[in-house]
Amino acid sequence: MGYGSKENTIGQWSIDKLAFLERYIPNYLLATKKALERYYIDAFAGRGEWIHRQTGEKVAGSASIVLRYAKEFTKIHLCELEEDRVEDLRRLVAENGASDKVAIHQGDANRLLPFIMKSIHRSAPTFVFLDPSGDHIHWSTIQTLSKWKTELFILYPYNMTLIRYLPRDPEKQEPFKKERLNLFFGTDEWEYIYRNTPRRYLHFELLDLYTRRLKELGYQYCNISKCFKSTTGQKLYYMIWVGKHKAGKDIMNWVYKQQSNQLSFDL
Ligand SMILES: C[S@@+](CC[C@H](N)C(=O)[O-])C[C@H]1O[C@@H](n2cnc3c(N)ncnc32)[C@H](O)[C@@H]1O
Protein backbone atom coordinates (compact mmCIF):
# COMPACT_ATOMS: atom_id res chain seq x y z
CA MET A 1 0.00 0.00 0.00
CA GLY A 2 1.28 3.48 0.77
CA TYR A 3 -0.25 6.63 -0.72
CA GLY A 4 -3.68 5.05 -0.18
CA SER A 5 -6.19 7.31 1.54
CA LYS A 6 -5.55 5.86 5.01
CA GLU A 7 -1.84 5.28 4.52
CA ASN A 8 0.79 7.85 5.30
CA THR A 9 3.87 5.79 4.57
CA ILE A 10 6.02 5.53 1.47
CA GLY A 11 8.64 3.07 0.28
CA GLN A 12 12.21 3.65 -0.84
CA TRP A 13 11.15 3.53 -4.52
CA SER A 14 8.99 6.65 -4.00
CA ILE A 15 11.87 8.41 -2.29
CA ASP A 16 14.10 7.52 -5.24
CA LYS A 17 11.49 9.00 -7.59
CA LEU A 18 11.38 12.22 -5.56
CA ALA A 19 15.17 12.49 -5.79
CA PHE A 20 14.67 13.30 -9.49
CA LEU A 21 12.53 16.29 -8.53
CA GLU A 22 15.01 17.46 -5.91
CA ARG A 23 17.72 17.55 -8.56
CA TYR A 24 15.58 18.85 -11.40
CA ILE A 25 13.76 21.82 -9.82
CA PRO A 26 16.81 24.03 -9.02
CA ASN A 27 18.16 23.43 -12.52
CA TYR A 28 14.77 24.16 -14.08
CA LEU A 29 14.74 27.46 -12.19
CA LEU A 30 18.17 28.33 -13.52
CA ALA A 31 17.19 27.44 -17.09
CA THR A 32 14.02 29.57 -16.92
CA LYS A 33 15.42 32.51 -14.95
CA LYS A 34 14.80 34.99 -17.77
CA ALA A 35 11.09 34.15 -18.03
CA LEU A 36 8.75 36.82 -16.71
CA GLU A 37 6.53 34.19 -15.13
CA ARG A 38 6.96 30.49 -14.37
CA TYR A 39 4.69 27.94 -12.78
CA TYR A 40 4.79 24.60 -11.07
CA ILE A 41 1.87 22.20 -10.87
CA ASP A 42 1.78 19.10 -8.67
CA ALA A 43 -1.38 17.43 -9.96
CA PHE A 44 -1.36 14.55 -7.42
CA ALA A 45 0.20 16.34 -4.50
CA GLY A 46 -0.46 13.87 -1.68
CA ARG A 47 0.05 15.22 1.84
CA GLY A 48 3.46 16.85 1.72
CA GLU A 49 5.14 14.68 4.32
CA TRP A 50 5.31 10.91 4.72
CA ILE A 51 6.77 8.29 7.01
CA HIS A 52 9.46 6.08 5.49
CA ARG A 53 8.06 2.55 5.60
CA GLN A 54 11.35 0.88 6.41
CA THR A 55 13.06 3.39 8.72
CA GLY A 56 10.07 5.14 10.30
CA GLU A 57 11.67 8.53 9.54
CA LYS A 58 9.75 11.56 8.32
CA VAL A 59 10.37 12.24 4.62
CA ALA A 60 9.50 15.19 2.39
CA GLY A 61 6.84 14.55 -0.23
CA SER A 62 6.72 16.35 -3.57
CA ALA A 63 4.79 19.33 -2.15
CA SER A 64 7.36 19.90 0.60
CA ILE A 65 10.17 19.72 -1.94
CA VAL A 66 8.73 22.40 -4.21
CA LEU A 67 7.82 24.64 -1.26
CA ARG A 68 11.56 25.17 -0.71
CA TYR A 69 11.48 27.12 -3.98
CA ALA A 70 8.12 28.84 -3.50
CA LYS A 71 9.57 32.36 -3.79
CA GLU A 72 11.01 31.61 -7.21
CA PHE A 73 7.80 30.54 -8.90
CA THR A 74 5.06 32.94 -9.93
CA LYS A 75 2.57 30.42 -8.59
CA ILE A 76 2.56 26.81 -7.43
CA HIS A 77 -0.65 24.82 -7.90
CA LEU A 78 -1.24 21.72 -5.78
CA CYS A 79 -4.15 19.38 -6.63
CA GLU A 80 -5.30 16.56 -4.38
CA LEU A 81 -8.48 14.49 -4.26
CA GLU A 82 -8.59 13.51 -0.59
CA GLU A 83 -9.91 16.09 1.88
CA ASP A 84 -7.64 15.09 4.79
CA ARG A 85 -4.58 15.40 2.55
CA VAL A 86 -5.74 18.80 1.34
CA GLU A 87 -5.94 19.84 5.01
CA ASP A 88 -2.36 18.61 5.54
CA LEU A 89 -1.23 20.59 2.48
CA ARG A 90 -2.94 23.75 3.76
CA ARG A 91 -1.16 23.40 7.09
CA LEU A 92 2.18 22.78 5.41
CA VAL A 93 1.85 25.79 3.11
CA ALA A 94 0.87 28.05 6.02
CA GLU A 95 3.78 26.77 8.15
CA ASN A 96 6.13 27.60 5.28
CA GLY A 97 4.70 31.12 4.99
CA ALA A 98 3.91 30.41 1.33
CA SER A 99 0.14 31.02 1.22
CA ASP A 100 0.52 33.90 -1.24
CA LYS A 101 2.46 31.70 -3.68
CA VAL A 102 0.47 28.49 -3.49
CA ALA A 103 -3.03 27.63 -4.67
CA ILE A 104 -4.44 24.36 -3.31
CA HIS A 105 -7.24 22.69 -5.26
CA GLN A 106 -9.31 19.79 -4.03
CA GLY A 107 -10.72 17.40 -6.64
CA ASP A 108 -9.93 15.26 -9.65
CA ALA A 109 -6.83 16.59 -11.39
CA ASN A 110 -8.36 15.76 -14.79
CA ARG A 111 -11.13 18.25 -14.08
CA LEU A 112 -9.01 20.84 -12.30
CA LEU A 113 -6.11 21.16 -14.72
CA PRO A 114 -8.03 22.70 -17.66
CA PHE A 115 -9.19 25.50 -15.32
CA ILE A 116 -5.77 26.00 -13.76
CA MET A 117 -4.15 26.21 -17.20
CA LYS A 118 -6.52 29.01 -18.22
CA SER A 119 -4.92 31.17 -15.51
CA ILE A 120 -1.43 30.65 -16.98
CA HIS A 121 0.07 32.60 -19.87
CA ARG A 122 0.70 30.34 -22.89
CA SER A 123 4.38 31.27 -23.04
CA ALA A 124 5.16 30.91 -19.32
CA PRO A 125 7.38 27.90 -18.56
CA THR A 126 5.32 25.46 -16.53
CA PHE A 127 6.53 22.24 -14.94
CA VAL A 128 3.83 19.65 -14.29
CA PHE A 129 4.42 16.70 -11.98
CA LEU A 130 1.91 13.93 -12.70
CA ASP A 131 2.39 11.39 -9.93
CA PRO A 132 -0.78 9.33 -9.41
CA SER A 133 -0.88 5.90 -7.75
CA GLY A 134 -2.33 4.30 -10.87
CA ASP A 135 -3.87 5.08 -14.27
CA HIS A 136 -5.58 8.28 -13.13
CA ILE A 137 -4.23 10.64 -15.80
CA HIS A 138 -6.51 10.79 -18.80
CA TRP A 139 -4.96 11.39 -22.20
CA SER A 140 -7.31 14.33 -22.69
CA THR A 141 -5.58 16.03 -19.74
CA ILE A 142 -2.16 15.55 -21.35
CA GLN A 143 -3.60 17.02 -24.58
CA THR A 144 -4.73 20.10 -22.68
CA LEU A 145 -1.36 20.53 -20.99
CA SER A 146 0.46 20.22 -24.31
CA LYS A 147 -1.08 23.49 -25.55
CA TRP A 148 1.03 25.40 -23.01
CA LYS A 149 4.80 25.73 -22.60
CA THR A 150 4.86 22.70 -20.35
CA GLU A 151 7.32 20.04 -19.33
CA LEU A 152 5.78 16.93 -17.86
CA PHE A 153 7.18 14.41 -15.42
CA ILE A 154 4.76 11.50 -15.60
CA LEU A 155 4.40 8.29 -13.67
CA TYR A 156 3.68 5.54 -16.21
CA PRO A 157 2.11 2.77 -14.10
CA TYR A 158 2.83 -0.23 -16.30
CA ASN A 159 3.35 -3.05 -13.81
CA MET A 160 1.45 -1.33 -11.03
CA THR A 161 -1.77 -0.97 -13.02
CA LEU A 162 -1.78 -1.35 -16.81
CA ILE A 163 -0.63 -4.97 -16.91
CA ARG A 164 -3.50 -5.84 -14.56
CA TYR A 165 -5.91 -4.66 -17.25
CA LEU A 166 -4.29 -6.96 -19.82
CA PRO A 167 -4.98 -10.62 -18.98
CA ARG A 168 -3.06 -13.22 -20.96
CA ASP A 169 -6.31 -14.25 -22.62
CA PRO A 170 -7.78 -11.09 -24.27
CA GLU A 171 -11.23 -12.70 -24.23
CA LYS A 172 -11.14 -12.49 -20.42
CA GLN A 173 -10.60 -8.72 -20.36
CA GLU A 174 -13.53 -7.01 -18.63
CA PRO A 175 -15.11 -4.04 -20.49
CA PHE A 176 -14.26 -1.53 -17.73
CA LYS A 177 -10.56 -2.30 -18.21
CA LYS A 178 -10.84 -1.47 -21.91
CA GLU A 179 -12.50 1.79 -20.98
CA ARG A 180 -9.72 2.68 -18.55
CA LEU A 181 -7.05 1.90 -21.13
CA ASN A 182 -8.88 3.99 -23.74
CA LEU A 183 -8.92 6.94 -21.31
CA PHE A 184 -5.29 6.43 -20.40
CA PHE A 185 -3.91 6.07 -23.96
CA GLY A 186 -6.51 8.34 -25.60
CA THR A 187 -6.91 5.76 -28.38
CA ASP A 188 -7.84 2.09 -28.77
CA GLU A 189 -4.58 1.35 -30.62
CA TRP A 190 -3.33 -0.39 -27.47
CA GLU A 191 -5.81 -3.19 -28.21
CA TYR A 192 -4.25 -4.15 -31.54
CA ILE A 193 -0.82 -4.15 -29.87
CA TYR A 194 -2.15 -6.22 -26.96
CA ARG A 195 -3.68 -8.83 -29.26
CA ASN A 196 -0.74 -9.03 -31.66
CA THR A 197 2.45 -8.68 -29.60
CA PRO A 198 4.23 -11.50 -27.78
CA ARG A 199 3.78 -10.91 -24.05
CA ARG A 200 7.48 -10.33 -23.39
CA TYR A 201 7.49 -7.36 -25.82
CA LEU A 202 4.16 -5.90 -24.76
CA HIS A 203 5.55 -3.36 -22.31
CA PHE A 204 8.01 -2.01 -24.92
CA GLU A 205 5.29 -1.65 -27.51
CA LEU A 206 2.81 0.05 -25.19
CA LEU A 207 5.46 2.40 -23.82
CA ASP A 208 6.35 3.18 -27.42
CA LEU A 209 2.69 3.94 -28.22
CA TYR A 210 2.48 6.33 -25.24
CA THR A 211 5.73 8.17 -25.97
CA ARG A 212 4.96 8.35 -29.71
CA ARG A 213 1.67 10.02 -28.89
CA LEU A 214 3.45 12.44 -26.57
CA LYS A 215 5.75 13.36 -29.43
CA GLU A 216 2.75 13.94 -31.69
CA LEU A 217 1.55 16.50 -29.14
CA GLY A 218 4.79 18.46 -29.57
CA TYR A 219 6.90 16.93 -26.83
CA GLN A 220 9.98 16.27 -28.92
CA TYR A 221 12.31 15.42 -26.08
CA CYS A 222 11.84 12.45 -23.80
CA ASN A 223 13.63 10.57 -21.04
CA ILE A 224 12.36 7.28 -19.74
CA SER A 225 13.66 5.84 -16.49
CA LYS A 226 14.37 2.23 -15.88
CA CYS A 227 11.55 0.42 -14.16
CA PHE A 228 11.19 1.41 -10.49
CA LYS A 229 10.96 -1.66 -8.28
CA SER A 230 9.80 -2.31 -4.72
CA THR A 231 12.31 -3.41 -2.09
CA THR A 232 11.26 -7.00 -2.80
CA GLY A 233 12.08 -6.54 -6.49
CA GLN A 234 8.50 -6.22 -7.73
CA LYS A 235 8.34 -4.05 -10.87
CA LEU A 236 6.13 -0.99 -10.39
CA TYR A 237 6.37 1.95 -12.81
CA TYR A 238 8.48 4.07 -15.12
CA MET A 239 8.99 7.82 -14.90
CA ILE A 240 8.71 9.67 -18.21
CA TRP A 241 9.96 13.23 -18.63
CA VAL A 242 8.88 15.07 -21.77
CA GLY A 243 9.55 18.60 -22.93
CA LYS A 244 9.71 20.79 -26.00
CA HIS A 245 13.21 22.19 -25.49
CA LYS A 246 16.62 20.59 -25.63
CA ALA A 247 17.74 22.51 -22.53
CA GLY A 248 15.20 20.59 -20.43
CA LYS A 249 16.34 17.32 -21.95
CA ASP A 250 19.98 18.15 -21.14
CA ILE A 251 19.09 18.84 -17.53
CA MET A 252 17.09 15.64 -17.28
CA ASN A 253 19.98 13.70 -18.87
CA TRP A 254 22.21 15.08 -16.14
CA VAL A 255 19.67 14.20 -13.44
CA TYR A 256 19.29 10.66 -14.79
CA LYS A 257 23.05 10.29 -14.81
CA GLN A 258 23.22 11.44 -11.19
CA GLN A 259 20.58 8.90 -10.33
CA SER A 260 23.10 6.59 -12.02
CA ASN A 261 20.88 3.57 -12.45
CA GLN A 262 18.73 5.30 -15.04
CA LEU A 263 18.81 5.23 -18.80
CA SER A 264 17.62 7.88 -21.21
CA PHE A 265 17.02 8.20 -24.93
CA ASP A 266 15.52 10.50 -27.51
CA LEU A 267 12.25 9.63 -29.17
C1 LIG B 1 1.36 8.81 -5.41
S2 LIG B 1 0.43 9.88 -4.42
C3 LIG B 1 1.23 11.42 -4.65
C4 LIG B 1 2.47 11.56 -3.89
C5 LIG B 1 3.10 12.91 -3.96
N6 LIG B 1 3.34 13.32 -5.35
C7 LIG B 1 4.40 12.91 -3.21
O8 LIG B 1 5.41 12.57 -3.78
O9 LIG B 1 4.40 13.26 -2.03
C10 LIG B 1 -1.01 10.14 -5.36
C11 LIG B 1 -2.00 11.09 -4.72
O12 LIG B 1 -3.01 11.40 -5.69
C13 LIG B 1 -4.26 11.50 -5.03
N14 LIG B 1 -5.28 11.28 -6.08
C15 LIG B 1 -5.81 10.11 -6.50
N16 LIG B 1 -6.63 10.33 -7.54
C17 LIG B 1 -6.60 11.66 -7.80
C18 LIG B 1 -7.20 12.49 -8.78
N19 LIG B 1 -8.02 11.99 -9.69
N20 LIG B 1 -6.91 13.81 -8.76
C21 LIG B 1 -6.06 14.34 -7.83
N22 LIG B 1 -5.47 13.59 -6.88
C23 LIG B 1 -5.72 12.27 -6.86
C24 LIG B 1 -4.21 10.44 -3.94
O25 LIG B 1 -5.08 10.77 -2.87
C26 LIG B 1 -2.74 10.51 -3.51
O27 LIG B 1 -2.55 11.39 -2.44
pTM: 0.95
**Residue 35: what are its φ and ψ, rounded to 5°?**
-70, 140
Rounded to the nearest 5 percent, the helix, strand and coil shares of the chain are: 45, 20, 35
Q: Which of 86-95, 100-109, 129-138, 247-256 has the lowest mean pLDDT?
A: 247-256
**From atom 23 of ligand 1, which residue's Cα is the shortest distance away?**
81
Mean pLDDT of 73-101: 97
pLDDT digits (tens, 9 = 90+) for 179-198: 999 999 999 999 999 999 99
- Predicted confidence at residue 264, as pLDDT, reads 44
Ligand 1 centre distance from Cα of residue 81 (Å): 7
Distance from Cα 230 to the centre of ligand 1, integer Å: 19
Give pLDDT tens digits for 227-255: 999 989 999 999 999 999 999 999 998 88
Fold classification of 9-258 (topology level)? Rossmann fold (3.40.50)
**163 — alpha (psi -120 to 50), left (phi > 0) or beta?**
alpha
The answer to whether 209 touches 185, Cβ cutoff 8 Å, is yes
Round to whole Å and give the CA distance between 59 and 209: 35
Q: Whose CA is nearest to atom 18 of ligand 1?
A: 108
